[in-house]
Amino acid sequence: MTDLVKKNGLNKEKLTQYKLYNGLKVVGKDWRLYLLLLPVLIWYLLWMYKPMAGLLISFKNYQPNLGVWGSDWVGFTNFKNLINGPYSTQFWRAFRSTFLVSLYGLIFGFPIPIFLALFFSEIGNKFYRNLTQTFTYLPHFLSEVTITGLVLTLLYHGEVNTGVIANLLFQLNIVPEGTKLFQDAAYFRPLYIITGIWKEAGYSSIVYFASIMGISPVLYEAVKVSGGNKLQEIRYVTFPGMAPTLTIMIILRIGQMLSIGYERIILLYNENTYDTADVLSSFVFRIGLEQGNSALGASAGMFNALIGFALVMGANFISRQISETSLW
Amino acid sequence: MERLSKSEIIFKTLAHILISVFAVLALYPVIYAVSASISGKIAYETNKVILFPVDMNFQVYKLIFDDKGFWISYINTLFYTVFGTAWSMFISVTGAYVLTKKRLLFRKQLNLFVVFTMWFNAGIIPMYLNYVNMNVNNRWGIIVAFGVQAFNIILMRNYFSAIPESIEEAALVDGVNEFQLLWRIFIPMSKASMATVTLFYATSRWNGYFWARILLTDPMELPLQVYMRILVENYQAMIDDMGDLLPYAADSYVYAILVCSIVPVLIIYPYIQKYFAKGVNMGGVKG
């Protein structure tokens, strides 16, 4: 830039004008390109970025009739109320649940798609593999309402009917006879996590399967020639080959630890199971939308989002340090 | 046929068994729902239905098909799915296309602008206030304000940028403009990714529940998912009040409704399924 100033004898003001003119010329020549950019730009501004300004209500005593801008500033009062006020018990309970549900989800849910992908890659019969893949991906495409509807009916324990799965659980003595699974806080988390695995495990295996398929067969030959068995093949070829994908998926999972999908929770939980079921997002929904305390709900939501954001950044940073794989 | 070592045979057998078990488990609730919806009341309530229907009859389907509310919500959902998917695709395709162009000013920043929303968003409450403020509590509002996902834009962007620049240059030399380039070359050349993303958007529109339930007030505008949920919520009351009097098992009715919501997915899905493994793979998860 300084070169340009020296060469053309331009002063700073002229340089700005020159750059602006040049910029307009570039845009003008490519006006079609910039026209195509407009829909996405406007959409994101209106529906993603404009609401971010609405986060200001976390610092306000929000009155619907005064709007976001008209309401009074209250500083950190809402946050104090959450952390140490009348809502703190519920808030911290939700906070703890969010972590626990995510953690259990990670421990039980994360490895299954990897194993599925490994097994899929062993099925030589292409027709059978495609068939089983089609079946296992299917639940991913069903709605949360359908899924929870199925869960509720399969596990329902009423006076007239017993859901077929509840019945099975009773007969196998996994659950004491007559337990009302949806009214008992002890069963919510297992229920939620198993449902999640059922819905997503098959589908999540796609990305691992693709990375296994991308490994050169020569490497497997090499292990075989040197007398390695199947487990050694997996240990020395498959896992290293999947490593970048594994890293990225684990970063994504850690980054999403605090953003548990609220739909299924809200559809499945009830007052009897709040103790184990209520997570931050369902707390935000209940306090903010059902009870109309928008400012408090928004504060809890922001708290949630900021920690989530820090988690993504942190996980990404660590992964870049140890493995040179990162999301960006 | 090459000879397999012992460990390979064990592993292969294990793989076949476990995959088969998992596939059966994945499918079971769906099959069961179909069977339970067309089984007789007594057979169902005495737990005779395990996999296949017993005392088959279709009375609950007749009941559903005679219900006006069901058809209204079904047509509404079709409407939201068709127009919503078209709208989401329009924004995503144009956006993804532009974001691949190296000569675009502020390309990096614009990419970040889209990707950032994957990591941070305003959250339910400010979004809700924005939707109310912008009056999207109606059919067109639901279509316009929802359903564009950064992930899908990135997926397409990565696919588009894999198209060799020489093709673009050749077309430009022939006097093709930017619109024609996108419409006649980029879109036809990325069929797999188009099909994949269309499927993603269409299923998320078809399955959309939460915001429709919160925002829509007119019962004539409710989509199937919301209607279905209301029925499921009334289910308990229905059994307690008149379970004994009904000529069918109350569950059968709920199962039948669930089946109706799954059928379109089952019909379309196998056709597009072959594309998406490829589509997702190409898109990768690069930010």
Q: Is the pLDDT of residue B121 over 80?
A: yes
> With an 8 Å Cβ cutoff, is A27 touching chain B?
yes
Q: What percent of chain B has pLDDT over 70?
A: 91
Say what the pLDDT of residue B21 is. 96
Chain A closest CA to B6's CA: distance in Å?
A: 8
Q: How confident is the model at residue B177 (pLDDT cuts 50, 70, 90)?
A: confident
Quick: pLDDT tens for B136-170: 989 999 999 998 999 899 889 988 988 888 888 88
My answer on whether B110 and B150 are in the same domain is yes
Q: Which residues of chain A register pLDDT less than 70?
A: 1-10, 158-161, 324-328
Q: How confident is the model at residue B287 (pLDDT cuts 50, 70, 90)?
A: very low
Interface confidence (ipTM) of the complex: 0.89
How many residue pairs from chains A and B have C-beta atoms closer than 8 A? 287
Residues 168-227 of B with CB under 8 A from A: 177-179, 182, 203, 206-210, 214, 225-226
My answer on whether B36 and B78 are in the same domain is no
Say what the pLDDT of residue A2 is. 55
How far apart are alpha carbons B252 and B231 in whole angstroms? 12
Where in chain A does DSSP place strands (E)? 60-61, 72-73
CATH number assigned to the domain covering A76-322: 1.10.3720.10
My answer on whether B215 and B132 are in the same domain is yes
- Pick B97 or A231 by higher pLDDT: B97
My answer on whether B51 and B77 are in the same domain is no
Q: Is the pLDDT of residue B285 over 50?
A: no
Q: Is the pLDDT of residue B2 over 70?
A: no
Q: At what angle do helices B107-119 and B150-161 cross, to 10 degrees?
A: 140
Q: Is the pLDDT of residue B284 over 50?
A: no
My answer on whether B3 and B81 are in the same domain is no
Chain A hits for B238, Cβ within 8 Å = none
Contact A159 B239 (CB under 8 A): yes
CATH number for position B150: 1.10.3720.10
How far apart are alpha carbons A222 and A274 in whole angstroms? 55
My answer on whether B140 and B157 are in the same domain is yes
Phi-psi region of B208 (alpha: psi -120 to 50; beta: other; left: phi over 0): beta
Per DSSP, the three-state class of A73 is: strand
Say what the pLDDT of residue A158 is. 67
Q: Is the pLDDT of residue B1 over 60?
A: no
What do you get for the CA distance between the two ends of chain A, in Å?
28
Say what the pLDDT of residue A231 is. 84
Chain A hits for B234, Cβ within 8 Å = none
Residue B41, domain extent:
1-57
Judge if pTM exceeds 0.95: no
Say what the pLDDT of residue B33 is. 93
> With an 8 Å Cβ cutoff, is A225 touching chain B?
no
Chain B closest CA to A143's CA: distance in Å?
A: 5
Quick: pLDDT tens for A19-56: 777 777 777 778 888 999 999 999 999 999 999 998 88
- Pick B278 or B91 by higher pLDDT: B91
B228-238 average pLDDT score: 79
Say what the pLDDT of residue B283 is. 45
Q: Is the pLDDT of residue B250 over 90?
A: no
Are B227 and B37 spatial neighbours (Cβ–Cβ below 8 Å)?
no
Nearest residue, CB atoms, A301 vs list B32, B125, B207: B125
Chain region(s) in chain A for CATH 1.10.3720.10: 76-322
How far apart are alpha carbons A112 and B102 in whole angstroms? 40
Say what the pLDDT of residue B57 is. 87
Neighbour count for residue A135 (Cβ, 10 Å): 20
Q: How confident is the model at residue B277 (pLDDT cuts 50, 70, 90)?
A: low
Extract the tokens encoding A270.
């009830």
Exposed, middle or buried: residue A125 (CB in 10 Å: 0-12, 13-18, 19+)? exposed
> With an 8 Å Cβ cutoff, is B103 touching chain A?
yes
CA neighbor of A116 nearest in space, from A209, A187, A178: A209
- Pick A300 or B279 by higher pLDDT: A300
- Pick A108 or B176 by higher pLDDT: A108
How far apart are alpha carbons B33 and B219 in whole angstroms? 27
Quick: pLDDT tens for B3-54: 677 888 888 999 999 999 999 999 999 999 999 999 888 888 888 888 888 8
My answer on whether B181 and B245 are in the same domain is yes
> With an 8 Å Cβ cutoff, is B273 touching chain A?
yes
Domain boundary among B21, B37, B57: B57
Per DSSP, the three-state class of A60 is: strand
Quick: pLDDT tens for B56-76: 889 889 988 998 999 999 999
Q: Any residues with CB less than 8 A from the CB of A200 and at least 6 apart, and which?
A: A109, A113, A139, A140
Number of separate domains in chain B: 2
